[in-house]
Amino acid sequence: MDLRERVDSSKENLLEELKEFLRMPSISARAGDEGGFRECAEWVRSKLEEAGAEARILETDGHPVVYAEIGSGEKTLLSYGHYDVQPPEPLELWESDPFEPTIRDGALYARGVADDKGDVMARIQALRLYQEEHGTLPFRLKFFIEGEEEIGSPNLAPFVRSNSKLLQADACLWEGSMKDEAGHPVIFCGTKGLAYVELRAHGASHDLHSMYGGIAPSPAWRLVQALRTIKDEHGEITLDGFEELIEPPSEKDLEAISRIPFDDAALRKSWGVEALDRYLTGEDALREMLLRPTANIAGIMSGYTGPGSKTIVPSEAFVKMDFRLVPGQSPGPVVELIRAHLKSRGFDDVEVVDLHGVEAAKTPVDSPVVRTSVETWRDLGREDAVVYPTIGGSGPTSLIATELGIPTVMTGNVAHAGSRIHSPNESARLEDYFEAIRYFTRFFERFQSGSARGGGGE
């Protein structure tokens, strides 16, 4: 029986196992459900044990990590994922219960199915399939599954640094890949860094009647004016010293980008917009997304925003901003640049609060683990896999790729461009999920030799 037939013959059981996982509302952003989190972590541990791994729960100052090892040999592969999920709100926009997995039109709808429970489960199920066909793994496979990724992994850095020897490996399979708008499997070789800040402006000690609008200090206008100095009307970031930190991309990265079949029309259609920002198109848009930093306003709050009218001068205003960073830019120095920039323009009264930051991470596009990822797709009959030097998003990837020096890649593609990750009606197509199981099984076959073709047939 070849690999496809083995997966097809087990589809019902594989799917029911995934659904059981998805029914656990492991929402890391909510306090007060430590028992539910522990139950979910224990469930993952039990599944790894059923697959033959030596699994255990490792504590952090927050939600626990599930760690497991299996196999033996000279090479070691680390598999990173997370069992926590985003909050499902707004609930009224869901077409079915976010924690009761539902199949519609060939897709499975549930919170976490695409990010990241589907990916975690596909790898565990692939491990079982591999062993059914080949027996003991000829390399060491380590599973590292955390429970705080969706809140920025606040306890991951101290955990990784305290367990650096435990986590050492020759390569790492990270979570987070997907198929693009045209259906091509995508392999990501890095993540952008992130500086997440809140700018705060204050006025009177309390909201004032707006008849004082001509003389009362307005924190809302103050913030608008401060923000105007960070990004101009052409969409260009004008933060002092920001541009000078950027390290130029490598020639190999530029070559890889030139080969990406980026379809901005399909992207615009999926978003429901007529044009991208600054009317960018084609490779210009792709380079902007992958190689350039961003200064994004994630949310603004001030004054009255309810129904009807309320005439006030608000007493305070807040804006949350995320700066996606590229190699050369580090979150700590960037936050100091923001403070210095605002102070030099007379906005030293605007408070800059550092909320969160991660470093950029990068694995060379010609790394052996990237080649193995591409060749595995070819084993499945997919000649259209696309290698991205990095992704526009961020994560704690640098802890593994940079600090521990482990080449790290995102591949496997449970999700697709229309999966609505972090949104209502999150979904994964069933065909993508079962293909991901086959993919990881084949990846395990290929990993030991790096490029040698695995057996078993597609």
CATH code of the domain occupying 192-244+293-358: 3.30.70.360
Domain boundaries along the sequence of the chain = 3-189+363-447, 192-244+293-358
Phi, psi of 386 (to 5 degrees): -120, 130
Q: From 384, 383, 360, 385, select the one nearest 370 (Cα to Cα).
A: 385
Question: Which residues are registered as beta bridge partners of 9?
Answer: none
- Asked if 366 and 251 touch (Cβ cutoff 8 Å), the reply is no
Q: Which two tokens stand for residue 158?
A: 């101290």
Bridge-based pairing state of the strands 208-209 and 312-313: antiparallel
Question: Cα angle vertex 315, ends 310, 318, to 5°?
Answer: 100
pLDDT at 28: 94
pLDDT at 34: 83
pLDDT at 240: 95
- Asked if 94 and 86 touch (Cβ cutoff 8 Å), the reply is no
pLDDT at 451: 46
- Asked if 166 and 405 touch (Cβ cutoff 8 Å), the reply is no
Q: Is 328 exposed, middle or buried (0-12, 13-18, 19+ CB in 10 A)?
A: middle
DSSP 338: H
Domain 3-189+363-447 CATH (choose: 3.40.50.2020, 3.30.1360.30, 3.40.630.10, 3.30.70.580): 3.40.630.10
pLDDT at 36: 86
DSSP H or E stretch at residue 158: helix 156-162
Quote the strand ranges of 267-337, DSSP E.
296-302, 312-313, 316-325
Q: Which amino acid is at 67?
A: Y
CA distances to 15, 130, 132 from 444, in Å: 21, 7, 13
Half-sphere CA count of 448, side-chain side, radius 13 A = 16
- Asked if 47 and 68 touch (Cβ cutoff 8 Å), the reply is no
pTM: 0.88
pLDDT at 182: 87
CA 226 and chain centroid, separation = 30
Establish whether domains 3-189+363-447 and 192-244+293-358 are of one fold. no
Residues 6+ apart with CB under 8 A from 251: none
Helices and strands of the chain, counted as H and E runs: 14, 21
pLDDT at 394: 87
Enumerate residue ranges in the chain where pLDDT < 70.
1, 450-458
Q: Is 399 exposed, middle or buried (0-12, 13-18, 19+ CB in 10 A)?
A: buried
Q: From 130, 103, 101, 123, select the one nearest 21 (Cα to Cα).
A: 101
